Structures are given as structure tokens and as C-alpha cells.
Amino acid sequence: MLTGLPLTGHVRNRVGSQPVSCRERPRPIVPENRKRYSSSMKTHAITAAITAFLLTCGALAQGVGKLFNITGGTSNSIAKFHHIDIPKGGEQLLGEFRGAGKVTYFYMTDESAGKWYPGLMLKIYWDGQKFPSIHMPVADFFGAIGGRAVPYRSEAMVINHACFMSHLPMPYGNGARFVLENDGDRDYSIRIAYGIDVEQDNSSATEKSRLHGEWRRSNPVKDGLHTLMETRGRGHYIGGFLQVVVRNHGVWFGEGDLLCHVDGRSYVHSPGTEDEYGSCWASPSWPAYDAPLSGHPLNENGVNRMYRWYVHNPVRFRENLKVEIQNQHVNGTPATEGPDDYTSVAFWYQEGASKVVAPQPFPDRQRPSFEEKK
């Protein structure tokens, strides 16, 4: 269960900490083998569904088990449903909180019924800073990359029909501001609904941890590596979303390793993208799934969307962290059919509010996959 993910003095380490470019294992299933593996895939799908159900029950049991605990805090909320007008280049304040506290829940929807305007940006500021520590398209914040919503249920985020929900705790020490910005090519005029729940107590005033969120796109990937996030300071990485659009729909993209560069040392976190996001021996015909801590809710016509939450095993760092993922179609080699299009949303906690990399301008974010930049 997400309970705040406090910063600690621990540092992550793993067996076999040197990055590797290849691994010995059978080649992934390819489309020609679909019939031969159909029964096996069904078995995997059923097993995954049962596992997801059991994990969800466990998480709910932990949460219910703590409901009796009465704290000295008070609750507050901003909840609105109204028409909103944001001209091109304009901004609109969603909510502002003073003093110290912790955001415990944030949801949004508009009457597009899940077809978000891609020019709508979310910026979240902590402690009176002039720069946002979370800066990305609002749809992508919830995992609807590019404004396309695909339902899924995870412990940290949920998309259910047209309701977009975040359960990530967001502490602040001296105020918080949630802002919508329109950096697109038209005015944004529509009815929206949203809510921001906060808790305020004495412990929030001394909590140093701040949530950060960063959006990046490599269209296409350069030199076989896509950077998910990079920062300096002390904190821990908790995961996020990854969408991969492949050039050849029949080619499996998921052989690239996740690389963590922590405080001057590097290691491989999982030997393959498919392993990192909770699936193994996958293929272009692999069925979509969602679970509390990992999922692959979209695998359609070469578009793959995944998420992973390190709730129980965050990647901790004391000085700096850079997380990258390889674009590989075959173990140990760069993309054999040409590099693919990677878009990622990364979240981490860090001491103090820091400035994140700003998303690419609207025209670049909207540029079709593999189209040359003009």
C-alpha cells in the first residue's frame, strides 16, 4: 500500500551490478508461432489474472487494517465541476494550498470522455517555488500517453472509464499549487471536474520528500538508449509509464534492459523490458494485462503501453540518479529493424523541490512516429 514512501538512508544494490548488453535465453515468441503457443498464452493470462486478484486483495486488506488509526491531522479538499476556458498560451489555477500538508488523492476528467486535448499541460509547484517539480501533459500524468485513454487499475494510478485517478502521496512544507497550461494549437474550452484531497498535520512541516515527475520522448531512440529520468540530490525512483511504438508491428521490442546509474555506479535492474514491466517471454501477440504494481494494458498494432511501480523496492540514491532503457529487438544488439519511438513518464521522490526537464514543445510532442523533424 502507498503510505508516503519516506526517504531513508538505504542505497539499492543488486547481484550482478555491472550493466550487460546481452543475456542468454531463448528468443522471444514471434507471430509465426502464435498457434503453437496459444494454449500456453491462455494459461499465462489466467495465471496473471489470478495473481492480480490476490495482490489486490492483499493491498486492500493492508489498507483496511489501518483504518482504525486516528491521527492529529485534519483533512481538506478542493472539488469542482464547471466550464473552463484556457486560451492558447494561457494558464488556469486548479488549486492552491498554504502551509504544510500532503496531497493524498488527485483526480481529473473532462467531457471529452477520455479523449484528452494533448495541448493541456499539468504543472505542480511545491513550497512557493517559481518552477514546477511535475511538468507534463495532464493525460500522460495518469498514463494516457498522447491523450489516448486505456483503462487499467494499479496501486498508484487508475483510469476507469473517463475518470483519471492518482493515489501517489505528495507532501509539501510551505504550500502547493496545481496549474493547467495550454501550450497547444487551439483554445481549450470544456467542462471539467477534478478533486484534490489533502491532509495537514505537524509531521508535514518536517517532511523533506517532494514528488517529482518528468516526461520524455525519443522519436526515434538515439544510440539505442532512451532516458527515463535524471536528477541530482537524495531520494528514490518509484517508476511510471512507458509507451513504445515500433516500426515493424511484427517485431518484438522488449529485449532492452533497464539501466540504473546510481551515485557513480551502474547496474542492470531487469534483463529485458518485458521482465521489467511484469511479463516474460512476451511477443507482439501477448495479451494485455494490468496488476497493482505492473501492467501492459495496451499491445495493439505496434503500440505498447506499460507501467511499473516500485512501491516495495524503490531505487534509492544519495547524490544522483539516471535511469535509461535500451531499445533492443534481439538480445544484446541494438534495434534490428531501425530504432523505435519511446515516450516515458517517470516519478521519483527527492529532498526539496527541484526543477525537472520541461516537455518538448507541442509540435514535437505531436509529431507522428518516425517522421523527420522539420
Print burial letters for 171-185: b (CB count within 10 Å at least 16), e (below 16): bbbebbbbbbbbbbe
Check residue 335 and give its pLDDT: 67
Alpha carbon distance 135, 44 (integer Å): 37
Quick: pLDDT tens for 300-309. 999 999 999 9
Check residue 374 and give its pLDDT: 67
Expressed in percent and rounded to 5, the helix, strand and coil fractions of the chain are 15, 40, 45
Mean pLDDT lowest among 3-12, 18-27, 46-55: 18-27
Quick: pLDDT tens for 319-363. 999 999 999 987 666 666 689 999 999 999 999 999 999 999 999
Q: Residue 43 pLDDT more than 80?
A: no
DSSP 20-70: -S---SPPPP-GGGHHHHHHHHHHHHHHHHHHHHHHHHHHHHHHHHTTT--
∠ Cα 165 311 357 (to 5°) = 70
Q: Residue 59 pLDDT more than 80?
A: no
Check residue 6 and give its pLDDT: 58
Mean pLDDT of 311-318: 97
Check residue 22 and give its pLDDT: 36
Grid cell of 259 as nine digits: 539501466
Our measurement of the distance from residue 304's CA atom to the centroid of its chain's CA atoms, rounded to an integer in Å, reads 14
Check residue 64 and give its pLDDT: 72
> Contact 295/279 with Cβ under 8 angstroms?
no
pLDDT class of 14 with cuts at 50, 70, 90: very low
Alpha carbon distance 283, 260 (integer Å): 25
Alpha helices in the chain (DSSP H): 34-65, 138-141, 273-276, 362-366
Alpha helices in 82-168 (DSSP H): 138-141
Alpha carbon distance 147, 143 (integer Å): 9
Give the length of the chain: 374
Q: Residue 49 pLDDT more than 70?
A: no
∠ Cα 223 226 231 (to 5°) = 120
pLDDT class of 281 with cuts at 50, 70, 90: confident
Residue 243's Cβ-count burial label (10 Å; 0-12, 13-18, 19+) is buried
Check residue 8 and give its pLDDT: 62
Mean pLDDT lowest among 30-39, 189-198, 204-213: 30-39
Check residue 10 and give its pLDDT: 57
Domains of the chain: 73-366 (2.60.120.1390)
pLDDT class of 252 with cuts at 50, 70, 90: confident
Check residue 336 and give its pLDDT: 63
Percent of the chain with pLDDT over 70: 81
Quick: pLDDT tens for 73-108. 899 999 999 999 999 999 999 999 999 999 999 999
Check residue 125 and give its pLDDT: 98
Q: Residue 288 pLDDT more than 60?
A: yes
Check residue 4 and give its pLDDT: 53
Q: Residue 216 pLDDT more than 70?
A: yes
Q: CA 113, 116, 121, 123: dihedral to nearest 10 degrees?
A: 30
Give the residue with greater pLDDT, 316 vs 11. 316
Q: Enter the DSSP assignment of 268.
A: E
Q: Residue 269 pLDDT more than 90?
A: yes
Task: Give the largest CA-CA distance in the chain.
Answer: 61
Check residue 24 and give its pLDDT: 38
Run of H or E including 362: helix 362-366
Check residue 11 and give its pLDDT: 53
Percent of the chain with pLDDT over 90: 69
Q: Residue 148 pLDDT more than 80?
A: yes
Mean pLDDT lowest among 31-40, 106-115, 277-286, 364-373: 31-40
Mean pLDDT of 270-286: 87
Nearest CA-CA partner of 144 in 287, 22, 297, 36: 297
pLDDT class of 63 with cuts at 50, 70, 90: low
Average pLDDT, the chain: 86
Run of H or E including 365: helix 362-366
Q: Which residues pair with 123 in a beta bridge?
A: 135, 179
Q: Residue 313 pLDDT more than 90?
A: yes
pLDDT class of 373 with cuts at 50, 70, 90: confident
